Structure 1
Amino acid sequence: MKNLLKYIILSVLICGNVSTVMAQYGKQKKADALYNSFSFVKAIETYKEMLANNYNSNYAKRRLGDSYMMLRDPENASLYYKDVVTQPNIDPEYYLNYALSLRALKKYDESAIWLNKYKETGVVDSRIQKIMEDENFISNIYQVKQQYFSKPVPFNSELSDFGAYEKNGVVTFASSRDKGVGIKRTYTWNQQPFLDLFQVKHDGDNYTEANKIEGDVNTKFHEGQVTVSKDGKTMFFTRNNYLGSKKGKDANGTNNLKIYRATLDKDNKWTDIKELPFNNNNYSVGHPSLSADGKTLYFASDMPGGKGKSDIYKVSVNGDSYGKPENLGDKINTEGNELFPFVHNDGNLFFSSDGLQGLGQLDIFTTVLDDNGNIQEIINLGMPVNSPMDDFSFFLNDAGDTGYISSNREGGMGDDDIYGFDRIPLFSVRGTVTDAINHQPIKDAKIVIKDKDGIQIADLVTDEKGKYKMNIDRETTYTIEASHMKYQPEPSKIADSRNSKGKNEIVVDFELDPVQDVDILADVNIDNIYFDFDKQNIRNDAAVELDKIAEMMLVTYPSMEIEIGSHTDSRGSFKYNEALGIRRANSTYEYLVSRGINPNRIKKHEGFGEYNLVNDCKDGVDCSETAHQLNRRSVFKVLSMQRMAEK
C-alpha cells in the first residue's frame, strides 16, 4: 500500500510550492521538506544525493530507511536500516523498524535478534511482547489449515487499487487510475494520481469495465473505503477534508481525512453529500463499516486519546443522529496501526493491524465472539489472505463464501491490488434418527462423533424432527454413534469427508429398534411422585399417578415389570435420610400392591436417601422449599413389557 498507509493512518498534506523551499535551503532542508510533506519519492532522490556527496550520511540513511518504510518497501528499507542500527546513540525505535522490515522479508531469525535488542533497551511496547510470546507463531500460522483461496480480478490497474466492497452485484473500489481526468493531478506521496471511487458490475466470473461512480462523491482529492446500508440507498465513504469546494486544514496545514455520507437518488447517482458530526479538522477519521442493522458505524482514527498510531472505534447511528465515538479497547488496538474495520452481518469484526502478531506488515485479523457478543480471541487469518507485505480492506459477502482483500504483495499488477477470494465452504455431517418400527423421528437421541483415533470430539442431541448437524473437517474420517435410552444402539457408522470435491456435506442416518427396558411412563405423561417434608405417606397427587401406573400394568402391559427408587432432600443426617428413603420406597410399593399389582412384578424397591439430588440443594446451600421438593420423590424404571395383543 505504497500510496496508502499514511493516507489512512494520519493525514494527507496537499503539497504546496516547494520551489521556494528548495531555493532557500540546502539539500537536507529540501529533502526534509519533501519528507515532511509526504513526497517520499522525491525525498528519496534528494537524500541519495546527500549520500553521494557524503553530506550528513547517517541522517540521510535514517531518512531513507524511513521513507522506504512509509512507501511499504521493506527490502530497500532494510538495506539502510542495517547501517542505521550500528550508528552510535541511535533511537531504539530503529531496532524495531529494522526488525519489522526483516520480518516483512521472511527473515524471522534475524528479525528476532533486533526485536530482542529493542526489548533490552527497556522500552515497554505490547507489540513486541505479543510477537515474542509465541516463538512458534510463524511456523504455526504457515501450518494453519487453508480456508481461503485467492483468485485474480480483472479490474486492477498499473496504479493503486484497493478497498473493494460489493453490494447488489456492484463492486465499488478506490483507484489512482486517471481515466476520465482532463488534467492529471498527482499525489506528492508517490507521484500517482489522486484516488477516486470506481464501480464494476459483477455477475458470476464476469465483471464489466470499471467506470467512475456517478454523482457528487469524487473530487479533485482522495476518496476511499466505502460501506453501504442494507437497503443500498446510503453510502458512507472516506475523503480528504473537502466539501463544497472548501478544503479544510489543521494548524500545520494538513488536510486530514473525514467520513462523509451520500444518498442514492432516483437516477442512481450518489448525491446530497454530508459530513459526519464526529469528524475533526485536527485528525483523521476514515474507513467506515456499517453493521448489518445500520445502528453501528465502525471506523479508524488517529484522534487523541487512542492506544496507538491509529485505532478502531465505533459510534451509534440513529438516522441523522450519531453517538459518541467509542474506542474498541486494547484487545484490538495496539501501539501500532489498526485500520480498515469490516463488520460482517454475523457480527464478526475483521481489521488490519501491524501491532498484532503477523506475517510481516499489515495483516488481516478477525474476532471470535461469545454468545453475548464479547470479544474472546483475535485470530490471524493466515495465508493466502495475509502475506509478508501489507494486507488490508477485507470484505466478505453475506453468505460468507467469497470476498475481496487488498495487498501490495509481490506478483501484483500495480501498486496496491485487489484480490478476490473464495472461502472453503464449511463441511458438515447431518442425518436423521428414526424409530425402526414406525419410522417416526426420535427426539433427543444422543449423537457422539469420534475422530479416526477413537477420541470423542463432540456430542449433541437430535431436535424435534430427529435431525442433527455438525461442522467437521474435510479430508477426514469420523465415527458416529447414535443412542437413546428407549432404543437399542445401532452399530457405529463411518462419516468419510475425503474425496468430497464439489460437496459440502455428507449424510449419515440411523434407525433404532425399541428395547423392552423403555421408560413407558414418559410416553403416557406419568411423572415422578413426590412426598412432603419428612413424610413417607402417599399424597393425593401421588395417588393419582400411581393409579395410572397400576392401570397400565394391569390392562395395557400385563407383563410389565418395574423397579422403584425413592429419594429425600438433603435436610437431616445421611443415616436418617437413608431410612426415610426406604420408608418412601415401601409406601410406594405397598400402594401398587394394594391396587392389585403382583409383588413379583416389582423387582426392586430401594431407598437412596439424599445421594441422588436432582439439583444443587446440598447441605449448607440456601434453597427454596420448591427446590427441595424436587428431591423428595419416587422414580420408576421399566425392566420389561409387552403390550396387550389387539383383538
Structure 2
Amino acid sequence: MRETTSAIITVITAILLAGCGADSYMKKGDKLYALGEYHDAAAQYKKAYSATPAKERGTRGIRALKMAECYRRINYTPKAIAAYNNAVRYKQAGTEDLFHLAKQLMKNGSYKEAAKVFHSVLDSMPDHKQARIGLRSAQMAPKWKEAGSQYTIKKENFFNSRRADYSPMLAGDEYDQLFFTSTRNDAQGDELSGITGTKCGDIFVSQKDENGKWQKPQAIDTELNSQFDEGACAFTPDNRTMYLTQCKTDPSYPRYATICTSARSDASWGKATTVEITKDTLSSYAHPAISPDGEWLYFTSDMPGGMGGLDIWRVRLTSNGLGGVENLGEPINTEGDEMFPTFRPNGDLYFSSDGHPGMGGLDIYIAKPDTIGGGWIIEHPGFPLNSQGDDFGMTFEGLHNRGYFSSNRGDGKGWDHIYSFVNPEIVQTVKGWVYEQDGYELPEGIVYMVGNDGTNMKLSVKGDGSFVHEIKPGVDYVFLGTCKGFLNHKEQLKVEPVTQSEEYVLQFPLASITAPVLIDNIFYDFDKATLRPESTAALDELIKLLNENPNVTIELSAHCDYRGPEAYNKVLSQKRAESVVTYLIEHGIDKERLSPVGYGKDKPKTVRKKLTETYPFLKEDDVLTEEFIKTLKPEEQEMCNQLNRRTEFIVLRTTFGMFDKDGNLKNPPKDKSRETNVPEEEWTP
C-alpha cells in the first residue's frame, strides 16, 4: 500500500514539476517574443510544448501556435507548417491562423493544400481580401511555373556561405563591386542573434580584378559594420554615399530598424549615422533605395498612415535635408507587406510583396511609370525569377536586364542566397564622356538630353565623367554637354531599330573659358602660312564649336619654336593665325568674333598634367622655354619644339551679340529653358 501511494506521489510530483517547467519556458518565450527574438522564443516554446502532457490538448495547441508564429517569422517554413497543423489538430487555430498556415503552404510549394486552407478561411470570412488573393495565387502559381519566362537564373555559390547572404547591390563606375549582407561566421561579434539564431548581419563586398574575375568577398573593415545588424544597402548615383539598414538590439525593450548613411572617403566607408526620417521612434525604417536621379529616398516602413503591414514610402532628398514623407499608395502597396524597393536605371521600380497575387512568400514585382495616366503599372515577371520562396533584393548591371537578386527557395532553414539573373531583352543605350578638351574628365558636368518623342532630361555624370542612358528606336535626340567654366558641346543622334542590344558612344570635349585650348591637327605648308587640306577636319570642329556657342569671341593664336629669326617667326605665325581666321570667316563665322595673333616664340607652352602622361620626362607647369629645352636629351628637345609649334585659341568674352546699343538683352530666354530644363544661362539666344 505504501509503495502504491509512493508511486502515485512520484507521478503527481513529476506532473507538477513538468507543469511548472512548462510554465517557466512559456514565460521566457513570451518575454523573448515581445523583444522580437523569435528564434530564441521558439526554442522556449518548443520546450514548453514537449513538457506539456498529451492529454492537455488545448494547452498543447496554444503552445504549438506560439511555436508556429515564431517559425513563420524566421522563415522556418517546414517547422511552421508542422506547428500550425498541430494547433489545428488540437482545435486552437483561429481563422487568421489558418490564413498564415495557407501562406506557409504556398512558401512550401504545396499549392493544392494551400488552396484548400484558403477556401476554409473564406468559408469563415468571405470578405477576407488577402485570403481571396492567396486563393488566386494558389491557382495561378502552377500556371506561372509551367509557362516560364525569358529569365535565366543561377545560384552564385561563389558569393554564398552556409548562412544567409542577401540584398546584393552592384556599385562602381563599371559595376565591378558587389555589396551584400551576410550572417556568415566572418561577421563581427561572437554572439548569435536571438532573432535568427545566426550572427548579426554585416555588409560584405566582392571586387572584380583587372581580368574581370570576382574576388573572395570580404567584410567592410571600417567602423561601418558593428556588433548589430547592418545590411540592405543602396548608393547615391555618384557612389559617394551609402544608405543602409541597421537593427540594434536591447535586452530590455524592442528596438526598431533604422536607416543610416555612410560617407565614402577615398575607398573607405565611414561609421553609420542614423537618418531621422520622422520623429516616430516606434516604427521601423528599412530597405533604402535611391531613385536614379538621386532626388528621392524610397524605403520600407510600418509607420501609421500606411495601407497595412509594411509599405513602401518615399521622401525627397534636398540640399537642406529631407522633405515630406509620402506613401506610394495603390497599386504598389497592399494590406500585405511590400519591401525591398530598388530601381533599374531606366526608372522601373522593383519591389517584393506578399500582398499581390504571387507564387508564395515574397515575389518580385515591377512597377513601371504610367506615362499616360500617371502612377504605376504593376507587372509580375513570372517564373523562374519568382518561386515559392522569398525572392527579393534586385540589382542591375547598368541598363541591361541582368544582375543579381536573393532568394531562400529550397532552403528548409529559410536562409537566403544570392542568384544571378539574365533577361535577354534588346536594350539600346547611349554612353558619353564629358571631359576637358586636351584634359581630364569633368565629374561636375551635366548633359541635357532632348528627344522628339518628348524626352526631356538632365543627366549627371559619374566620377569618370561618363553617363549611360537608355534610348528608344525611331527617336531623334540632341545632347548638350555643359560644365561651369567651359563652353557647351552639342551632339545629335538618330536611333534606328536594331535586332540586338547596341550601345552608341558620344564624346563631349568641352573647351575651357579660362585656359588656352589647343586646336590639334592644324597643318601648314613648310615655311608658309598656307593651310594644308588635312587641316579641314579640325577647323570644321572649331566652326561647329563656335556655332554652338554664338556669344563667344576668341583670340586665335599661332606659335613657333625658338629656332630661326625672331622677327621672321612672328610674321609667319601672324600670317598662319590669319589663315585660320580667313577659313572661319569663309564658313560663316562673324569676323568680329575672331582676333588673329601671331606670337612667334614669345609664349612657350606651359605643360598641363594630362600632357605628362604622353611625355613622362615633363612635369606639370613646366614652361617649354629655350633654356629649359636645351637641358633635355636631343630627342626630347625635338618633342618639345613640336609642342611649341601649335595653333590654339582662348575665349575673350561670352556676351557677343547679346545686348543692343542701349545695353539691354536682345533675346531674353523664356520658353526655351522651361521646355528643355536647361538653365537659362546655359542657352544662347
Q: TM-score, normalised by structure 2?
A: 0.55
User: Which residue identity is paired with 2:313?
Assistant: Y
> What's the offset of the Cα at 1:86?
4.7
Moved more, 132-141 or 78-87: 132-141
Structure 1 residue 349 corresponds to structure 2 residue 352: no
> What's the offset of the Cα at 1:189?
1.6
Residue number among 244, 266, 291 corresponding to 1:237 in the alignment: 244
Alignment of 1:321-336 (within 5 A): 321-336=321-336
Q: Is contact 1:96–1:115 with CA below 8 Å preserved after alignment?
A: yes
Query: Secondary structure at 1:171's aligned position in 2?
Result: strand
Q: Is contact 2:352–2:362 with CA below 8 Å preserved after alignment?
A: yes
> What's the offset of the Cα at 1:504?
5.6
> What's the offset of the Cα at 1:340?
0.3
Residue number among 181, 186, 189 corresponding to 1:179 in the alignment: 186
Query: Secondary structure at 1:187's aligned position in 2?
Result: coil
Separation in 1, partners of 2:392, 2:351: 7
User: Which residue identity is paired with 1:37?
Assistant: L
Separation in 2, partners of 1:336, 1:466: 45
Residue number among 155, 160, 164 corresponding to 2:159 in the alignment: 155
Q: Is contact 2:475–2:495 with CA below 8 Å preserved after alignment?
A: yes
Alignment of 1:19-418 (within 5 A): 26-55=24-53, 56-88=59-91, 90-122=93-125, 124-133=127-136, 136-153=139-156, 154-168=158-172, 169-179=176-186, 181=188, 183-202=189-208, 206-240=213-247, 253-266=253-266, 268-271=268-271, 273-278=273-278, 280-371=280-371, 374-410=374-410, 415-418=415-418
Query: Secondary structure at 1:315's aligned position in 2?
Result: strand
> What's the offset of the Cα at 1:378?
1.8
> What's the offset of the Cα at 1:342?
0.6
Which residue of 2 is the match for residue 579 of structure 1?
A: none
Separation in 2, partners of 1:95, 1:272: 41
> What's the offset of the Cα at 1:274?
4.7
Separation in 2, partners of 1:304, 1:466: 49
Separation in 1, partners of 2:300, 2:73: 18
Relative CO higher for 1 or 2, CA cutoff 8 Å, sep ≥ 6? Answer: 1
User: Which residue identity is paired with 2:26?
Assistant: Q
Name the % identity. Answer: 26
Separation in 2, partners of 1:413, 1:155: 19
User: Which residue identity is paired with 2:166?
Assistant: F
User: Which residue identity is paired with 1:156?
Assistant: N
After superposition, the Cα gap between the structure-2 partners of 1:67 and 1:24, relative to the gap in structure 1 and judged at 3 Å, is closer
Separation in 1, partners of 2:132, 2:217: 44
Separation in 2, partners of 1:28, 1:248: 21
Query: Secondary structure at 2:149's aligned position in 1?
Result: coil
Unmatched segments (≥5 aa) in structure 2: 1-19, 54-58, 429-471, 477-492, 503-685
After superposition, the Cα gap between the structure-2 partners of 1:24 and 1:76, relative to the gap in structure 1 and judged at 3 Å, is closer
User: Which residue identity is paired with 2:278?
Assistant: F
CA RMSD of aligned residues (A): 3.2
> What's the offset of the Cα at 1:177?
2.1
Separation in 2, partners of 1:118, 1:377: 30
Q: Is contact 1:156–1:414 with CA below 8 Å preserved after alignment?
A: no
Residue number among 497, 522, 532 corresponding to 1:469 in the alignment: 497
Separation in 1, partners of 2:427, 2:344: 21
> What's the offset of the Cα at 1:285?
0.3
> What's the offset of the Cα at 1:463?
7.3
After superposition, the Cα gap between the structure-2 partners of 1:466 and 1:380, relative to the gap in structure 1 and judged at 3 Å, is closer
After superposition, the Cα gap between the structure-2 partners of 1:133 and 1:413, relative to the gap in structure 1 and judged at 3 Å, is closer
Separation in 2, partners of 1:275, 1:134: 37
C-alpha deviations, 1:205-260, integer Å up to 9, x for none?
6211222224332121111111111111111111125xxxxx889xx821111111
Unmatched segments (≥5 aa) in structure 1: 1-21, 242-246, 429-459, 472-502, 506-647
C-alpha deviations, 1:252-303, integer Å up to 9, x for none?
8211111112211135333573523436421110100001111011100011
Query: Secondary structure at 2:94's aligned position in 1?
Result: coil
After superposition, the Cα gap between the structure-2 partners of 1:463 and 1:23, relative to the gap in structure 1 and judged at 3 Å, is closer
> What's the offset of the Cα at 1:341?
0.5
Aligned length in residues? 414
Separation in 2, partners of 1:61, 1:45: 12
After superposition, the Cα gap between the structure-2 partners of 1:148 and 1:99, relative to the gap in structure 1 and judged at 3 Å, is same
Separation in 2, partners of 1:253, 1:124: 36
Structure 1 or 2: more helix by fraction: 2
> What's the offset of the Cα at 1:28?
2.0
Q: Is contact 1:279–1:285 with CA below 8 Å preserved after alignment?
A: no
Query: Secondary structure at 2:64's aligned position in 1?
Result: helix
Query: Secondary structure at 1:44's aligned position in 2?
Result: helix
After superposition, the Cα gap between the structure-2 partners of 1:363 and 1:289, relative to the gap in structure 1 and judged at 3 Å, is same
Which residue of 1 is the match for residue 615 of structure 2?
A: none
